Structure 1
Amino acid sequence: MPGAIQSLSRAAAILRLLAGGERRLGLSEVAAGLGLAKGTAHGILRTLQQEGFVEQDPESGKYQLGAELLRLGQSYLDVHELRARALVWADDLARAAGETVYLGVLHQRGVLVVHHVFRPDDSRQVLEVGSMQPLHATALGKVLLAYDPVARGELGDGPWEPFTARTVTEPAALDAQCALVRERGWADAVEETWEGVASVAALIQDRRRNPVGAVCVSGAVETVCGPDGAVRPALVASVRTAARAISRDLGAHRF
């Protein structure tokens, strides 16, 4: 079996490097980050730029991901049946809850956000489609861990990265939480990945009752949780209703 083409592997590594940060990177930073000679990195960046996969800021000379990647990514998402079936229900959930809604699927060792509905207000928000969330510290991730053995295998043995003081990092504690998720049918995460943010999620199944993703509502702790610190029952009910509706559209029968 032929091996990987080195230039393509390097181009992919550059794209991942640019996708991993919140700022533009200069040629020296790209080369150093991947252990490449400047001439090699520049040649690959120039080719990626010509194809629209990378853009160069005219003032700083630094590089960032290009619009062509967004177009290709959108094409992938448009043929993703889960996302297509969930669009209307996710919009309705965001309006009913007054909060952000995410649709996520298992991808390698995390949760890939395949759909994001903005919180229905006038605040500044950033589209997070294509971003990754941790399995062990988010409501989306805990739902997948509870119902999908593949997700648990991807996560590994732990201990896992603590994002806040409330992040569950030990396997025994996480397994106990997953058992609770299966018992009550939903997961929550309160300030486990980001301070001041809480979320609640429920499982989406296909016609064979396989776990194919999860839907969640996310927002400020004071709006997602009640005075007792627990997730508001109305939000739990709304998320579970949306998850059931999406599952039915995918062919699932009664849960």
Structure 2
Amino acid sequence: MHTEKPPHSTDASEDSEARPSRGIQSVEVGGQLLKALARSGRRMALKDLAREADMTPAKAHPYLVSFGKLGLIEQDPVSGHYGLGPLALQLGLIGLQQVDPVRLAIAELPSLAQRVGCTVSAAVWGVEGPIIIRVEDGPTAVHVAMRHGTPASLRHTGTGKVFAAFGPPADIATALAREGLAGALDDPAFAAELADIRRAGMTRVRDELLPGISAMAVPVFDGFGRLVLAIAAIGPSAMLDLDDGSAQTQALREVGRRLSQRLGAVQPGD
């Protein structure tokens, strides 16, 4: 016999959707130990690991025992130090296999274009050098011949300079030679510029390739520390604020950091 539910009743799924998500605090607390190991990139003694996770050794030890049983953590039989276990490594590798950096980057571009108020792009390393794979127009039109498949100069574009600064030197030297710039890496001025880019973690280009047009770009790294993408913003020099503290710069940096984190790169403070 069919019976109707009372007007104000809800089933379990409806009730769970209505309530805010609530986690298990002990899992979140114990997870700080895993995050501490990921940040350090090495095995750690109990006291050091506990300190990095902001807990006492006595509090940390039961979590480590349970994580060890699951294979998330393992203890070195000689030193007694703790490191990530086989299950953690398997999860990391599977996660990397499931993540498509290009898809992730393309998904970020529409909102980034609105935040910075100008055209943004994503580029990868192609057969002969950096190639722009996606362009997202912003609210302000930029009259630049930039489209999917356009190569980016390693010497004169923000995108290209990211690859020149963080890419494998041998590959960069070969690509520069194709641009007719053989030996450019030995130019003291260019070498100093690339060193500044590495320190800043981004490039800024003002009126260099085209008068009245400026650009900035950030690198995106994977879990092995390899450069996989460059995300750039380009616009009229009068409208693109290249200062480090500007909202546009911070928005671009934020996307670069977020994509790197999604790809397994460990960021300071994670």
TM score, norm. by length of structure 2: 0.55
- Secondary structure in 1 aligned to 2:239? helix
- Unmatched segments (≥5 aa) in structure 1: 1-79, 162-167
For residues 34-65 of structure 1, give each alpha carbon's deviation from its aligned partner in whole angstroms, at most 9, with x where no partner exists. Answer: xxxxxxxxxxxxxxxxxxxxxxxxxxxxxxxx
Q: What letter is aligned with 1:250?
A: L
Residue matched to 2:253: 240
Contact 2:215 2:232 in 1 (8 A): yes
Aligned-pair CA distance for 1:105: 1.5
- 1:153 lines up with 2:173 in the alignment: yes
Structure 2, unmatched stretches of 5+, are 1-98
Deviation for aligned residue 1:247: 1.4
The equivalent residue for 2:232 is 216
Q: How far apart are the structure 1 equivalents of 2:179 and 2:123?
A: 23
Give the distance between the partners of 2:211 and 2:244, measured in 1 at CA.
Answer: 16
Matches within 5 A, 1:84-123: 84-121=103-140
Choose 1 or 2 for highest CA Rg. Answer: 2
Q: Structure 1 residues 121 and 182 mapped into 2: Cα distance closer, same or farther (>3 Å)? A: closer
Deviation, structure 1 residue 158 = 9.9
> How well do the aligned residues superpose, as a CA RMSD in angstroms?
3.1
Paired with 1:123 and 1:182, the residues of 2 have a C-alpha distance of 28
One-letter code aligned to 1:252: A
Residues 124 and 220 of structure 1: CA distance in aligned 2, closer, same or farther (over 3 Å)? closer
For residues 124-149 of structure 1, what are the alpha-carbon distances to aligned partners after superposition, in whole Å with 9 as ceiling and x for unaligned?
Answer: 88760111110111111111111112
Provide the C-alpha distance between the structure 2 equivalents of 1:122 and 1:250, rounded to a whole number of angstroms.
31
After TM superposition, give the deviation of residue 251 of structure 1 in Å.
2.3
**1:234 positional shift:** 2.2
SS at match of 2:215: strand
